[in-house]
Amino acid sequence: MTPKQFIEKALEGGYEEGKNWKLISANGYWVTWLNGNDDETTIDFKCYLLDAKIWQAVGKVEGWEGKENCNNCGDPWEEACWCDRNDLHAVPRYKHHMHRMIDALCEGKSIEKFLETL
């Protein structure tokens, strides 16, 4: 998905930036809103990526709720995993994707490139 689609899905999933704020635009660097006073406000996109609540909201729209991934290989978790490292636990799917995002940034990948993998 694109950065704008990420924010739109978060809003659809119940994420709220500010009372009566309306999304104007979003790219991999900035999110621009019309705030409650009809002023344009621009916020660094990374602020949203570091908020677990936005990942949970996107997950509601993407159908991640109640689903988990293996904390070792990252595959979808179904009671156990083929990778045989079941001592490592499964993690909620939103958290799995949030971890993947941090890994992507550590590896120098762009936010846009990462979001395309969601």
Q: Quick one: which of 24, 43, 73, 80 contacts Zn ion (CB under 5 A)?
A: 73
Under rule CB under 5 A, residue 90 binds Zn ion: no
| Pick 35 or 72: Cβ nearer Zn ion | 72
Q: Does 83 bind Zn ion (CB under 5 A)?
A: yes
What are all long-range contacts of 96-103, with beta carbons under 8 Å and residues at least 24 apart? Answer: 96/68, 96/69, 96/71, 97/55, 97/59, 97/64, 98/49, 98/52, 98/55, 100/74, 101/49
Give the position of tokens 């595959």. 75
Q: Name beta bridge partners: 42.
A: 32
Structure tokens that stand for 90 in this block: 């499964």
Q: Does 70 bind Zn ion (CB under 5 A)?
A: yes
Task: Rule CB under 5 A: choose which of 72, 99, 100, 118 binds Zn ion.
Answer: 72
Among 31, 54, 81, 90, binds Zn ion (CB under 5 A): 81
Q: What residue ranges bind Zn ion (CB under 5 A)?
A: 70, 72-73, 81, 83
